[in-house]
Amino acid sequence: MTDENNEWFNLKEINDGIWNISDKTGVNSYLIEGKRESLLIDTGWGLGNLAELVQSLTPLPIKVVLTHGHPDHVNGAYQFPDLYITPEDMKLLNTFYIKDTRQGIIENFKAITPSNFSKDDWINAKITKTSPIKDGNVFDLGERKLKVIKCPGHTPGSICLLDKKDEILFSGDSILARPVLMNLETSLPLSTYLKSIKHVNNYSANFSTILSGHDEKPVNTIVIEELIKGVSNILEGRIEGKLEKTRFGEALVCKFNNTAIIYNENNL
d(CA 49, CA 116): 10
3-class DSSP assignment, residue 87? helix
d(CA 67, CA 90): 11
Cα of 70 vs its chain's centroid, Å: 8
pLDDT the model gives residue 264? 96
CB within 8 A of 152, min separation 6: which ones?
Answer: 88, 158, 188, 192, 193, 196
pLDDT the model gives residue 5? 56
d(CA 98, CA 125): 9
Q: Is the pLDDT of residue 160 over 90?
A: yes
pLDDT the model gives residue 34? 97
Q: What is the mean pLDDT of residues 246-250?
A: 89
Phi, psi angle pair for 245, to nearest 5° = -85, 125
Stated pTM of the model = 0.96
pLDDT the model gives residue 119? 94
Q: Is the pLDDT of residue 237 over 90?
A: yes
Cβ distance 105 to 75 under 8 Å? yes
d(CA 58, CA 64): 14
Fold (CATH) for 3-175+208-219:
Metallo-beta-lactamase; Chain A (3.60.15)
Q: What is the mean pLDDT of residues 246-267?
A: 95
d(CA 16, CA 48): 24
For all residues of the chain together, what is the average pLDDT?
Answer: 95
Cβ distance 2 to 50 under 8 Å? no
| Higher per-residue pLDDT: 156 or 247 | 156
Note the pLDDT tens digit of each residue in 171-211: 999 999 999 999 999 999 999 999 999 999 999 999 999 99
Please choose, from the candidates 103, 92, 97, the residue with its C-alpha nearest in 3D space to the C-alpha of residue 66. 92
pLDDT the model gives residue 138? 98
Order of strands across the sheet with 138-140? 138-140, 145-150, 159-163, 168-172, 209-212
Cβ distance 135 to 149 under 8 Å? yes
Q: Is the pLDDT of residue 2 over 80?
A: no
Please, which pLDDT band fits residue 4 given cuts at 50, 70 and 90? low
CB within 8 A of 100, min separation 6: which ones?
Answer: none
Taking the alpha carbons at both ends of the chain, their separation in whole angstroms is 45
Note the pLDDT tens digit of each residue in 108-148: 887 788 888 999 999 999 998 999 999 999 999 999 999 99
d(CA 14, CA 234): 35
As a whole number of angstroms, the longest Cα–Cα distance in the chain is 53
Cβ burial, residue 251 (10 Å; 0-12/13-18/19+) = buried
What are the boundaries of each domain within the chain?
Answer: 3-175+208-219
From residue 236, give the alpha-carbon distance in Å to each of 7, 10, 152, 196, 230: 47, 42, 20, 17, 10
Q: Among 32-46, 110-124, 230-244, where is mean pLDDT lowest?
A: 110-124
Phi, psi angle pair for 93, to nearest 5° = -55, -50
Q: Is the pLDDT of residue 161 over 60?
A: yes
